[in-house]
């Protein structure tokens, strides 16, 4: 319920409550809030148990679509499309085996040593007259 509330927000609420209510009424307000939250949880648990008792085994059939809807929160469309198109194959084109498993820090495959030779001092690079 309060998944997005962090410790910083709770601290801000406590300080705001201290300024608004004052130090003498803050403990009473916290106690009242805790009792209210506890009562709401008890009502929810009782309602769930009553529904489970009345529906019997059909309750689990009723919960299945709700669980499926909860899983949609974590839905990643890119992963779903990739799995659908390539049947879950993480490397459908076989490109991972081509670089010999070595990659640069930026994620691109490392170039083999023969393709990239360094020039000796004073040596001119080769020129392709058709390309310039």
pLDDT tens across 23-61, in order? 888 888 889 989 999 999 999 999 988 988 888 888 778
pLDDT tens across 1-27, in order? 556 778 888 889 888 888 888 888 888
- What is the widest separation between alpha-carbon atoms in the chain? 90
Which of 94, 93, 92, 112 lies closest to 102 in space, CA to CA? 112
Which of 19, 28, 3 lies closest to 11 in space, CA to CA? 19
Tokens 């669980």 belong to residue = 67
CB 78 within 8 A of CB 86: no
Q: Above 60 in pLDDT, residue 126? A: yes
Alpha-carbon distance 47 to 44, whole Å?
5
Tokens 């640069």 belong to residue = 104
Alpha carbon of 105 to those of 64, 97, 98: distances in Å?
44, 17, 17
Alpha carbon of 24 to those of 16, 34, 110: distances in Å?
14, 17, 68
Task: Determine the 3-state secondary structure of 109 from DSSP.
Answer: strand
For the chain, give every domain's residue range: 7-86
What's the pTM value of the predicted model, to 2 decimals? 0.39
């Amino acid at each position: 319920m309060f998944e997005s509330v962090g410790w910083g927000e709770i601290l801000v609420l406590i300080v705001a409550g201290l300024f608004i209510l004052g130090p003498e009424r803050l403990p009473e307000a916290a106690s009242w809030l805790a009792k209210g939250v506890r009562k709401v949880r008890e009502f929810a648990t009782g309602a769930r148990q009553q529904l489970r008792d009345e529906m019997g085994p059909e309750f689990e059939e009723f919960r299945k679509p709700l669980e499926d809807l909860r899983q949609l929160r974590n839905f990643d469309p890119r992963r779903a499309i990739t799995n659908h198109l390539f049947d879950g194959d993480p490397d459908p084109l076989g490109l991972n085996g081509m670089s010999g498993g070595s990659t640069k820090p930026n994620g691109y495959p490392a170039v083999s040593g023969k393709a990239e030779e360094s020039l000796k001092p004073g040596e001119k690079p080769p020129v392709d007259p058709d390309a310039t």
